[in-house]
Structure 1
Amino acid sequence: MINMAVRGDDGNIVASADAGVKWTDAFAKLDPAAFPMLRALTPYGDAMFNERQMPLLLAELDRLPAACGGDWVAQARELCHVVERGLHLYLWFIGD
């Protein structure tokens, strides 16, 4: 399971999601050209996105195949908006 949290520069968690990303092979099959942000996700590593990457990430979430979907998508969108409204905030996807 990949957890999601918004952290500040100091590493403190500002917001987090209840749902996590359930890893499936469908993520590994995403087209790198169409999903450059989400292709950064791995089941065991971490991925961090800054405020300038939020529009790209939100656009990818909007066209994400159903096989990769779930409750986490709406919560990821909410966390993206937290990052956009704040200063020095980052959206982290934290693998096991």
Structure 2
Amino acid sequence: MIDLQIRREDGTLEACAKRGVAWGPELAGLDQSVFPMLGHLLPYADTVFNHRQVSTLLAEVPRLPPGVLTDEFTRELIELGQAVLDGPHLYLWFVGD
């Protein structure tokens, strides 16, 4: 399971998604040339996106094939991603287990 969080520059936790995303063949099989942000997620490591990377990440979401992310996780990803874009010194963390 990969959880989603917003953290400040100093690492302070600001918000977290209620749901995570399960690592599976759909997510693992994303073509990194087509999905440069989501294609770099790892199941057992943290991946951190800054403000500019979140913009690219959010542009990838509507193009995802069905079944890669649940509707609930997608809504939270968009909401938390937008919060990072709206605030200073915030980062979007995908936290692998």
Under a length normalisation based on structure 1, what TM-score does the superposition of the two structures give?
0.95
What SS is found at the alignment partner of 1:92? strand
* 2:45 is the alignment partner of 1:66: no
- 2: CA distance between counterparts of 1:22 and 1:43? 9
**What residue number does 2:91 align with?**
90
Q: Given residue 88 of structure 1, which amino acid in structure 2 is its aligned partner?
A: H
Q: Look up the match of 2:3.
A: 3
Alpha-carbon distance in 1 for matches of 2:55, 2:62 = 11
Runs of at least 5 residues in structure 2 that lack an aligned partner in the other structure = none
Question: What root-mean-square deviation, in Å, do the aligned CA atoms of Structure 1 and Structure 2 show?
Answer: 0.8
Alignment pair present for 1:47 and 2:86: no
Percent identical residues: 46
Give the TM-score of the pair, scaled to structure 2.
0.94
Q: What residue ranges of structure 1 are gaps of 5+ in the alignment?
A: none
CA deviations over 1:60-96 (Å, ceiling 9, x no partner): 1111111212021110110111100111100000000
CA distance in 1 between counterparts of 2:19 and 2:66 reads: 16
Paired residue total: 96
**2 CA distance for matches of 1:55 and 1:9?**
18
CA deviation map 1:43-68 (0-9, x unaligned): 11110001111221011111111121
Stretches of 4+ aligned residues off by more than 3 angstroms = none
